Amino acid sequence: MKKYLLLFIIAVFAVSCSKKVEVKGKITGGSPLERIEFIEASGVATLPLINIGINKDGTFSGSFEAPKSGMYVMSYGGKQNLIYLKGGQKLEITGNGMSFPSEFVVTGDAKNNNDFFTATQKYLSTYAQTVNMNELMTKDEKTFIKGIEKVQADVTKNIEENVKKFSPDSGLVEWKKNDLASTLLTILNQYEMSHKQMGNPSFKVTKAFTDYENKLQENKEVMVKENPFYRQYLLTKMSPDFQKYAQANGAGKPDITTSELFAEYLKKNQKDLSQTAKDYLLAFVMAQSDIHPGTPEKTIEKIKKIIDTDIKDATIKEDLKKIQFAINGFKIGEQAPEASLVKADGKSYSLSSNKGKPYMMMFYASWNPYIGEASIPVLKEVVNFYKSKMNFVFVNVDDTKDQFVKTSNSLMKGITGTNVYGEGGLNSDIAKKYGVYGFKLPCFVVVDKDGKIASKPFFNLGDPELVTALDKQTGLSAPKVNPNVQLQPGLNMDPAAAPQQAPQQQANPQPAQTK
């Protein structure tokens, strides 16, 4: 009896500690060319946790490890929305292709939480139309604070009413209240800044104003961990001071990065700020300023050093390293790792079989909009020009081997090269080892004759640097082309285009600076 009791306790413990979320559902009118992604909303420039395909009938299913209970961004068709998830959940999501994920219904373990969140968001949408914020911004300070306090009271009352109605998790309720506090803090900061800009740069708020600000930040340690909107508020508050610091300490140093300056600034000018807040804010600045496609090798190494020395939180440190690898790839000269690959006939394929001859890998999937009939002629030209001096390996990361066979037979027909498949698609061994995500497709990597990485990852066949890398490995000299007419990347190439946003706006797939 004791033995069985022990087994039962172990089983219960295993379930309670599970981080896996199982999700399935149906999007009526959903397109097989679109994908569903889940991204941790509170993380630092978080990468997609899963990329799920849509079947012809609109159904989908998948499972992934949720790092922690909290808000996640659900992305589909270029649109995003928030959903509260926790490990061990099984949920079903349904919606319509025209409105998903702006509108969706959840059944299963997450129903109460989603119903609560949806109800509070609908209230905010309606309530916002009743508040003339522009007029309130022009009022004297006392009237302004009174107006903001009324907004806080009204929204809080609605939250409490919906708590009684839906019985959501306490963590979601706390997030909702902290999110409200972050929004109000942003409005307070806008009020202060606008009055300084209205011809009165010496304008200062009263103690009542700062007391209210401090009251809204009573949970600031939780807020900085879970609410990117609060981090953005903190950065906005210290922005004028940092700009002065940067101008004074960055002058005459053309190679100094924004990340280096901000790390120094936090040490010298923000000594009262908690280490947790410093870690999150520095990580945000690094992701926005210095981790993006085209980052010079020298800057990449500087960022690695800052991550190792200045970031203390282990999770943030690891997330930043993953992001930097996903964006910038291997260091040139590193050995290209082997990975599990198969051909259409089922036989395994080894990348090392190319040793003695350089090769270029192309990662692609049938659902990626940038790989198709318009792009294939360009690929053919590149292959035909270099094929006498190097090999080409086309790595398919579709969801199934059957889809790989169909895709390679149609898209790659007549193109010299080896067609292989990574079992599991974006969850495959090779996708993980090479940091391949949906936003990176198609992706090109050059490897030299000794099996060592010879280029950063490229997302455009017409990129002059890619052409230079191919020329270097082959000894050939390709004719110059206009890079703008080549394969266009799915990756957002503008690092400033992925700000941490308000909940209703959500994340961006560069790997997602979320919120």
Q: What is the 3-state secondary structure (H, E, C) of 60-89?
A: EEEEEECCCCEEEEEEECCEEEEEEECCCC
Q: Are strands 391-396 and 418-421 parallel, antiparallel or unpaired?
A: parallel
Rounded distance between C-alpha atoms, residue 10 and residue 13, angstroms:
5
Residue keyed to tokens 């099984």 = 90
Structure tokens at 361: 């890998």
pLDDT of residue 293: 87
pTM of the model: 0.87
How is 128-151 classified by DSSP, letter by letter? HTT--HHHHHTS-HHHHHHHHHHH
* DSSP state letter for 48: P
* Torsion region of 414: left, alpha or beta (phi above 0 gives left; psi -120 to 50 gives alpha): left
How does DSSP classify residue 427?
G
Q: What pLDDT was estimated at residue 294?
A: 83
What residues does 95 pair with on adjacent strands? 27
Buried b (16+ CB within 10 A) or exposed e, 196-212: eeeeeeeeebeeebeeb
Tokens of 132: 């003339």
Question: Could you tell me the two tokens for 205?
Answer: 């708020």
Q: How many CA atoms lie within 13 A of 36 on its CB side?
A: 30
Give the tokens for residue 422.
């990574």
> What class, spelled out in words, does domain 341-485 have in CATH?
alpha beta
Q: What are the C-alpha distances in Å from 455 to residues 361, 379, 396, 433?
A: 11, 18, 20, 16
pLDDT at 56: 93
3-state secondary structure of 360: strand
Instruction: Output the pLDDT for position 75.
Output: 96
- Is-contact 288 295, C-beta < 8 A? no
Q: Mean pLDDT for each consecutive 10-residue tract of the chain (515 residues)?
A: 44 55 97 94 89 96 94 95 94 96 95 96 95 94 97 98 97 97 97 84 90 97 96 96 95 91 97 96 94 90 97 96 95 96 97 97 92 80 96 97 95 95 96 95 96 95 93 91 47 32 31 41
For the range 126-135, what are the long-range contacts, defined as Cβ-Cβ under 8 Å and sequence gap of 24 or more? 127/154, 127/155, 127/158, 133/187
Q: How far apart are the first and last CA of the chain?
A: 51
Per the CB < 8 A criterion, the answer to whether 423 and 348 are in contact is: no
The residue ranges of every structural domain in the chain are 2-109, 232-328, 341-485
Placement of tokens 């968001």 in the chain: 121
pLDDT of residue 200: 74
85 burial type by CB count under 10 A (0-12 exposed, 13-18 middle, 19+ buried):
buried
Residue 456 contacts residue 328 (beta carbons within 8 Å) = yes
| CA quadruple 108, 112, 114, 118: dihedral, nearest 10 | 140
Question: For the domain bounded by 2-109, which CATH number is listed?
Answer: 2.60.40
